[in-house]
Amino acid sequence: MKIIYGFSIVSSFFGLWITSLLPKSFELVLGFVLIFSFGMIHGSNDILIIKRLSNAPKDNFVKVLLTYLFVVSLAIIVFYFVPGLALLLFVVFSSYHFGEQHWENKMNNLNERLKRVFFFSYGLLILYLVFYFNIKSVIGIIYDITGFKIINIYTTEVISILIVILSLISSVAIYKKIIDIKSFLKEIFLILVLSIIFNASSLIWGFTIYFIIWHSIPSLVDQISFIYGSFNKSNILKYTKDALPFWLVSILGIFILFLIFKDEKHFHSLFFAFIAAVTFPHAIVMLEMFSKKKRSFKEK
């Protein structure tokens, strides 16, 4: 994990360098390319994870697959008919999912309820930092998706509350020696780095740097290790090959959505709506994956 952390820090500063050197239009294009590639792939193999989790007969697996596709379709329908609710659920699910991915392996021995609060608070802090430095773009996207004109999303107040919650729970974790001071200081440094990047970047580019470097790549490592038993070059190739059909279906799905709703919705809105639709079931699948890993660890 030290190698991944070092790679992520270097890549983040490289991303910051791009923001200072290249035009915003290039940031936008590169951001979408990375999200549609690494970002989509990291969520494309949920079916394989489900199969690994269930160890179920083929007939039952087909039922699980159909259920998964139903959830994705339902999320898209909710986004169309009740966009405000769908957007709120997206923020809630994404916040917990981001926090869980980043902290699960570091907070194994923390009280379960405190851990859940910590995961959600950390992920929400990341999202609100993105919002804070791109408030006009965020309000514009909220309007495009929901039709509601929102003047204030209280970024300063929410960030302040989240910092207090995270500091208190971190203090408990440090006191109980679940995490050490060095790890805690590294996380503070990361938050500062991300804040600088979010401040210097456009909404899409700032989100891309976090989503790809700090979320998707670590998630890919965890998924490959879980599905195939270890993380190595051979298993990376297996994962990519197995994920390819699902990735192509995802790309086709967002293309179809764009063709259907291009006259009604801005592309940014359709993009976030599709990401949200995939995020709902993906977050649940990853929660089950981490739960199974934890149970297996305890049994050992």
pLDDT of residue 156: 94
As a whole-number percent, the residues of the chain with pLDDT over 70 amount to: 87
Looking at the predicted structure, is the pLDDT value of residue 269 above 70?
Answer: no
Backbone φ, ψ for residue 89 (5° rounding): -65, -35
Q: What pLDDT shows up at residue 95?
A: 93
Q: What integer pLDDT is reported at residue 69 of this predicted model? A: 73
Q: Angle formed by the axes of helices 83-103 and 267-299, to 10°? A: 40
Query: Mean of the pLDDT values across residues 184-208?
Result: 90
Mean pLDDT, the chain, as a whole number?
Answer: 83
pLDDT higher than threshold 80 for residue 54: no
Between 39 and 234, whose confidence is greater? 234
| In the predicted structure, residue 133 carries a pLDDT above the cut 90 | yes
pTM of the model: 0.87
Which of 102 and 59 is assigned the larger pLDDT? 102
Is 115's pLDDT higher than 90? yes
Per-residue pLDDT, 235: 92
pLDDT range class, residue 129, cuts 50, 70, 90: very high
Query: pLDDT value at position 132?
Result: 95
Q: What is the pLDDT of residues 72-101, one digit of tens each?
A: 777 777 777 787 888 888 889 889 999 999
Higher pLDDT pick, 127 / 266: 127
pLDDT tens string 139-176: 888 887 777 888 888 999 999 999 999 999 999 999 99
231-265 tens-digit pLDDT: 999 999 998 888 888 788 777 777 776 777 666 66
| DSSP string computed for the chain | -HHHHHHHHHHHHHHHHHHHHS-HHHHHHHHHHHIIIIIHHHTTTHHHHHHHHH---HHHHHHHHHHHHHHHHHHHHHHHHSHHHHHHHHHHHHHHHHHHHHHGGG-TTS-HHHHHHHHHHHHHHHHHHHHHHTHHHHHHHHHHHH----S---HHHHHHHHHHHHHHHHHHHHHTTSS-HHHHHHHHHHHHHHHHHHHHS-HHHHHHIIIIIIIIHHHHHHHHHHHHSS-SHHHHHHHHHHHHHHHHHHHHHHHHHHHHHTTTS-HHHHHHHHHHHHHHHHHHHHHHHHHHHHHHHHH-
Mean pLDDT of all residues in 258-275:
66
pLDDT of residue 37: 82
pLDDT at 116: 93
pLDDT score recorded for residue 241: 86
Mean pLDDT calculated for residue range 203-228: 89
